[in-house]
Amino acid sequence: MAEAETAAHTGAVEHHAEPALMGFAPPVAIVSASMLVLILIMLWKKVPSAITKGLDSSIAEIKAQLEEARSLRAEAESLRKEYADKIANAEKDAAALLEHARHEAEAIVAKAETDTAEVITRREKMAQDKIAATELAAVTELRNQAAAAAAGAARGLIAANYSAGADKAQVDQAIAGI
């Protein structure tokens, strides 16, 4: 260490020998030559064509996938449009059914009102007929009771005022008038 410190203080720099292949080729030449040999072996074994084939097949596969994706997208778009049309048609059908149901409900309500009015009219007529029949029966019963009372009163008067002799005189008088 003392020598390195002394050399650092004195400004002297130590030189080392550079490695060489068999004493005449520097390291840069060795690396360049080995790279050149590697490239020549790769060309001789057709590595670039294999790489090109691999890249071409990858490109073809990617193109096929892109084409498949395009066709799937087109199919998805057509399905989306079809379902959108179906939804629109279903909404129209639902609106039409709702409108039809409203018209039917209105018709049913109108018919029910008409039927109710007819039933009320019929029941009023039945009630009036029943009242008229009850009045007629009451009048008939009153007449019958009046006739029975008059007949009973007449019987009582006749029995009280007429005798068999008075009857004979009236019968004779009626026969003479004929």
pLDDT (tens, 9 = 90+) of the chain, 178 residues, equals 445 555 455 566 777 767 666 767 777 888 888 899 988 888 888 888 888 888 999 999 999 999 999 999 999 999 999 999 999 999 999 999 999 999 999 999 999 999 999 999 999 999 999 999 999 999 999 999 988 888 888 888 777 777 666 777 777 888 888 7
Distance CA 57, CA 61 (A): 6
Maximum CA extent, the chain = 204
Question: What contacts 27, CB < 8 A, 6 or more positions away?
Answer: 18, 19, 20
β-sheet bridge partners, residue 21: 25
**Where in the chain are the domains?**
27-160
Contact by Cβ (8 Å): 19, 27 = yes
DSSP conformation class of 136: H
Non-local CB neighbours of 42 within 8 Å, separated by 6+ positions: 48
The pTM score is: 0.38
Q: What's the sign of the alpha-carbon dihedral 156, 162, 164, 170?
A: negative
Q: Are 109 and 102 in contact (CB under 8 A)?
A: no
Q: What is the 3-state secondary structure (H, E, C) of 25-66?
A: ECHHHHHHHHHHHHHHHHHHCCHHHHHHHHHHHHHHHHHHHH
